[in-house]
Structure 1
Amino acid sequence: MTFKSIKTKLMALSFLLLTIPLIILGWMSYEQSRTSLDDAGETNLKNSVEFTLLMIDHLNEEVEKGTLDRAEAEERVKVAILGEKQSDGTRPLNENIKIGEEGYIFILDNEGTSLAQPNIEGQNTWELEDSNGVKFVQNMIKTGNEGGGITYYDFPHPDNDSQIVPWIAYSKTDPNWGWTVSSSTYMSDFNQAANHILLFVSITVGVTLLIGLFIIWLLSNSIARPIGIVTEHMNRLAKGDLTQEELTLKSKDETGRLAQAMNHLQTNLKDMISSVADTSSRLTTHSQTLNQSASEVRTGSDQVAVTMQELASGSETQASHSSDLAYNMSAFTTVVEQANEKGQLIYDTSNQMLDMTTQGKTLMTHSSNQMSQIHKIVQEAVQKVSGLDHRSKEVSKLVYVIKDIADQTNLLALNAAIEAARAGEHGRGFAVVADEVRQLAEQVTASVTDITQIVDGIQTETLSVTDSLQLGYQEVEKGSEEINETVKTFNHIDQALKDMVDRVQEISSNLAEIATNSQKMHTSIEEIASISEESAAGIEQSSASIQQTSSSMEEVAASSDELAQLAEQLNELVKQFKL
């Protein structure tokens, strides 16, 4: 089969679009059914094990109550899941417990001994392996002890020992007796219904494909046949046959519209060829007239070219002068901008000086206030020291009074001692008292002497401090006067700087305005220079265009001759069509 025709391509594409979704849908249905059946089978295995464990729990309660013997309870479980033990040691499958076609429930202990099994009850199956070497009995016991789970293994089919098939088992350990209860069957038990579904889906897909192919063949014919008719008509048009009858297709779809478009094409092409034949005849006549007009235009173009050359020379001179003026104006603008920047810098510096002067004025005012405070404090200190000197002099007077009293007391004590000596034995006690009084008077005299020296020292130091404070007071007065003068000077400087800042700001504003106007003038001059250059270039281009026009007119004359020849050739080509 080749794919050169539309019919073949449509059939192949439609077949693929029909086949692929059907196959995918059928396979997904089969997989979903198989998965659902597997889940249902696992649930069946689990439910059978859970039912057995519930039965063990119930019988164990009877054993614990003492109403049932343990061995009898175990046998009841075995009979319930399988059946009565036969004379040959086997047990039949319980028909009431359906686990697939060949599935059954069996019981193991933790050592792998089969406690309930149709054929090998009492045997140890701990080391049993499947065809892959997996010890599935150990896996069942391990899974059961871990809370229950699924075990997969390969084992002979019940009806054919030589056929190894996949098996599935659910195991769970009973906490009462330590039994591992397992329920198993081979996997194909779960998938038999899915295989029936797969067969049904396959048949459905096959029938659908056959019906679809027939419908696709009909549709492909309905599309390909009209296209073939249109193709044949198109080939005749390509050979120049415009005498064919119009296509008549009953189809209203794209093929019908294609036939209508072909009919319109034939009609328009016939009209166009007729028009071209008429036009080519007139073209021959007009080409001769064009040749004569081209000669006249060429003569006028030569005269215009000379005039444009003179205009171009004058425009170049004007553009040169404008460029020089623009260059000089640019330099002037640069100088003005620099002056403007310097003026702004001076303005900023003046503002900084004004700020510093204001700060200095504030500091001097603060210093003047502090000097006034110091002046007041020193004045008070002088007054207090003078008062201290006055008090010390009063203390000196009191000390002299005390000294006189002490001297008199000493003299009186001496007289009292003399009188006591005259009195003899009777005046002895009075003599002792007089002696004590004399000693006290001497001590007072000594103390008064020390106080006198201290007071004299205080007076001396007070005089010295008074002199120092007087000198300091005079210096403070001088400092206050100088600071006041400095404050006045700062006030004058501040006012002068404010005036200077105002003038500098005015100068800076004028410079900025000059810079702005200079920039505008520079821009205008550049525009004039640019326009002059463009004008010169335009005139040169116009001159060149006139020259090119002259050359072109020569070419037009030559082309008109060629056009006449082409018109003749066109007439020959038109004659090939059948109108």
Structure 2
Amino acid sequence: MEKVRNLSLKYKVSMIVIIMVVLIFAGVTYFSLNILKTNLSNDLKSELLSVGTLTSMQVNPDQVGKLLSKNGEGNPDFTSLQKQLDQIQKDQGVMSWSYIWTLKDDQVTTQAYTSNLNDIYKPGALFADLAPIHLDAAKKVYSTGKSEVTDIFKDPFGTWRTVFSPIKQDGKVIAVIGIDYSADYINQLSSQARNQQLLITIIGLIIIALVIYAAINKILKPLKSIVNVSNRIAEGDLSSNPLSYDSNDEIGQLNTAVVKMQHSLRTLILNIQDSSEHVATSSQQLTASSQETESYSVKVNSDMTEIAEKTLMNSKITEETVTVLEETAIGIQRIAESTSTASEESEQMAASAQNGYDSLDRLQNQMHNITESVTRIADVIQVLNSQISEINEMTNLITDVAEQTNLLSLNASIEAARAGEHGRGFAVVATEIRKLAERTGRSANTIAEHLGSITQSTTQSQIIAQEGQGEVHKGLELMKEAAQSFNQILESTKNVSMQMQEISASSQQISASSEEVTASMTELRNVSGEIAKSSDQVSSASELQLQFIQEVAQATESLSHTSQSLQELIQQFKV
């Protein structure tokens, strides 16, 4: 970490920019490889579909159809198909092997295959050692009639990617031909494409890194000259010639600032040199005057300290007397205020009790009104229940009429049917009457259901009204008891208010007398305090003056030494 901190600016900037470029290239390369992998997979899938389709077109479906009925190693159709598949494998070059299957009830029967599968397959025999993805793809070709490519999968014989194509006879799929490609071949294609992409990326990064380093080196080259000049200024050499840099970028602005700083420092050093000589002369004169003033101030300070001590003692005695009287006056005043406040609050409490009593009386009247309203509501609900019962009876009557009408319309329809062609119009009318009767019956049933719900609600409302009437009676009894309690509180509050008024008047008279005594002692305390304060201020002023004179003497001596040191430092600069 320390080595990185000590690197030059061009290396630091180059490292940062190159790291950013590498990260950007890494991200772009990552996404490019993913896109390349996807495109390669899609291209390979398209190629496999084309190979599968072309291969299935070269197979004679009639020969395959004959193998379905009779198959075996000595079958001439099997031998012919195997030679044809071997030739297709030889011409294609990269396929591992091919085979022809038939499927029935998820069972695979091998009908033909390339000769390199003779140790694995038997013609016309079932084969069960299959990967699920392998079997699912073959079944999908059977169901859709289109070629299908699997993803890369693994089975007991290796890792593969397979294309299945249908073999059709008279438009019907009678078998599928499968072509297996080794995953090593597919991975080899992906690896070659990935390596090419990585090689291009690395070469691009190297070229861009070299270009970035060269550009940054050229841009930051003037900084080295500026650093050299700054180091000479730091060592005290202000006589170097200004730098020339035409650009107005940040480096140019830095160069201009360094030139201005060099000129300002040269002017400042010359001014300080003149001023330090003048300060050295003045400080010597000031030192002599301050020593003479210090001797007079010591004597004045001693006299004022003695006067201040005697005045302060007298002021403390007066202060203690006034404090006792003030505390007594405050206590009496608080008693007067408390009794006055208590008197006012007792009057307010009496008024509040009277208002509460009046409110309870009005509330009691209102509760009587609520009782009468609840009773009327219960009566109205009872009348409503009676009316609902009558409506329910009418609804039952409508339902019965609708059912009878429905039966009559049904009989009319039967009679119209017997009448044949002459009763057709009458049958239509009877049908419409029956539909109307059915709708009337359904509407009457709906009304009856709603009336039942309303009856339940009114019954519950009547019960609630009766309960509310009982609660109102209980509330009336409680309010009567509360009115009696409020009446007792009102009488007690009036008695307390009268007693507090008498106490408040007495406390105010005592407070007025105490305030007169306190005012006299306060005036005496103020006079004593002013005398003590004046003496103390004079004493403090004399002490401060003495300290100030001593500090001035020390400062003038220090100033003399400083001016000498300053002249020695200025001589180190070359202007």
Normalising by structure 2, report the TM-score.
0.53
- Alignment RMSD (CA, Å): 6.0
**Partner Cα separation in structure 1 for residue 218 and residue 240 of structure 2:** 24
**Partner Cα separation in structure 1 for residue 508 and residue 48 of structure 2:** 101
Give, as a single letter, the amino acid of the residue that structure 2 aligns with 1:8.
Answer: Y
Contact 1:112 1:137 in 2 (8 A): no
Q: 1:354 to 1:6 in 2, by over 3 A?
A: closer
Match for residue 153 of structure 1?
A: 153
The yes-or-no answer on 1:23 pairing with 2:16 is no
Aligned equivalent of 2:80, options 51, 64, 87: 87
Larger radius of gyration, structure 1 or 2?
A: 1
How much has 1:284 moved relative to structure 2?
1.2
Match for residue 102 of structure 1?
A: 95
Q: 1:506 to 1:52 in 2, by over 3 A?
A: farther
Q: 1:342 to 1:185 in 2, by over 3 A?
A: farther
Match for residue 550 of structure 2?
A: 554
**Partner Cα separation in structure 1 for residue 527 and residue 41 of structure 2:** 93
DSSP 3-state at the match of 1:87? helix
How much has 1:116 moved relative to structure 2?
4.9
The yes-or-no answer on 1:282 pairing with 2:278 is yes
The yes-or-no answer on 1:254 pairing with 2:247 is no
Q: 1:138 to 1:14 in 2, by over 3 A?
A: closer
Could you list the per-position Cα deviations for residues 436-489 of structure 1 after superposition, in whole angstroms to 9, with x for gaps in the alignment? Answer: xxxxxxxxxxxxxxxxxxxxxxxxxxxxxxxxxxxxxxxxxxxxxxxxxxxxxx
Could you list the per-position Cα deviations for residues 142-193 of structure 1 after superposition, in whole angstroms to 9, with x for gaps in the alignment? Answer: 787799995643479xxxxxxx97323478999x999898665344666677
Match for residue 401 of structure 1?
A: none
DSSP 3-state at the match of 2:161? strand
Match for residue 488 of structure 1?
A: none
Q: 1:256 to 1:509 in 2, by over 3 A?
A: farther
The yes-or-no answer on 1:6 pairing with 2:9 is yes
Give, as a single letter, the amino acid of the residue that structure 2 aligns with 1:288.
Answer: Q
How much has 1:290 moved relative to structure 2?
1.5
Match for residue 140 of structure 1?
A: 134
Could you list the per-position Cα deviations for residues 371-427 of structure 1 after superposition, in whole angstroms to 9, with x for gaps in the alignment? Answer: xxxxxxxxxxxxxxxxxxxxxxxxxxxxxxxxxxxxxxxxxxxxxxxxxxxxxxxxx
Match for residue 432 of structure 1?
A: none
Contact 1:34 1:191 in 2 (8 A): no
How much has 1:212 moved relative to structure 2?
2.0
**Partner Cα separation in structure 2 for residue 236 and residue 327 of structure 1:** 77
Match for residue 159 of structure 2?
A: 166
**Partner Cα separation in structure 2 for residue 360 and residue 6 of structure 1:** 92
**Partner Cα separation in structure 2 for residue 531 and residue 51 of structure 1:** 127
Match for residue 394 of structure 2?
A: none
Q: 1:73 to 1:505 in 2, by over 3 A?
A: farther
Give, as a single letter, the amino acid of the residue that structure 2 aligns with 1:307.
Answer: M
The yes-or-no answer on 1:264 pairing with 2:263 is no
The yes-or-no answer on 1:329 pairing with 2:322 is no
Match for residue 215 of structure 1?
A: 211
**Partner Cα separation in structure 2 for residue 179 and residue 240 of structure 1:** 99
Q: 1:509 to 1:192 in 2, by over 3 A?
A: farther
DSSP 3-state at the match of 1:252? coil
1:321-360 alignment, distance < 5 Å: 321-322=318-319, 324-338=321-335, 340-341=337-338, 344-345=341-342
DSSP 3-state at the match of 2:153? strand
How much has 1:277 moved relative to structure 2?
1.3
How much has 1:30 moved relative to structure 2?
0.8
DSSP 3-state at the match of 2:241? coil
Match for residue 481 of structure 1?
A: none
Give, as a single letter, the amino acid of the residue that structure 1 aligns with 2:556.
Answer: S
Greater CA deviation, 87-96 or 334-343? 87-96
DSSP 3-state at the match of 2:80? coil
How much has 1:34 moved relative to structure 2?
0.6
**Partner Cα separation in structure 2 for residue 337 and residue 208 of structure 1:** 93
Contact 2:110 2:127 in 1 (8 A): no
Give, as a single letter, the amino acid of the residue that structure 2 aligns with 1:277.
Answer: Q
How much has 1:343 moved relative to structure 2?
5.5
1:513-552 alignment, distance < 5 Å: 543-544=539-540, 546-552=542-548
1:314-463 alignment, distance < 5 Å: 314=311, 317-318=314-315, 321-322=318-319, 324-338=321-335, 340-341=337-338, 344-345=341-342
**How many equivalent residue pairs?**
410
Greater CA deviation, 183-192 or 2-11? 183-192
Q: 1:152 to 1:530 in 2, by over 3 A?
A: farther
Contact 1:340 1:515 in 2 (8 A): no
How much has 1:21 moved relative to structure 2?
1.7
The yes-or-no answer on 1:565 pairing with 2:561 is yes
Could you list the per-position Cα deviations for residues 109-164 of structure 1 after superposition, in whole angstroms to 9, with x for gaps in the alignment? Answer: 44554345444454568575xxxxxxx446634787799995643479xxxxxxx9
Q: 1:354 to 1:571 in 2, by over 3 A?
A: closer
Greater CA deviation, 330-339 or 505-514? 505-514
Q: 1:349 to 1:106 in 2, by over 3 A?
A: farther
Identity of aligned residues (%): 18
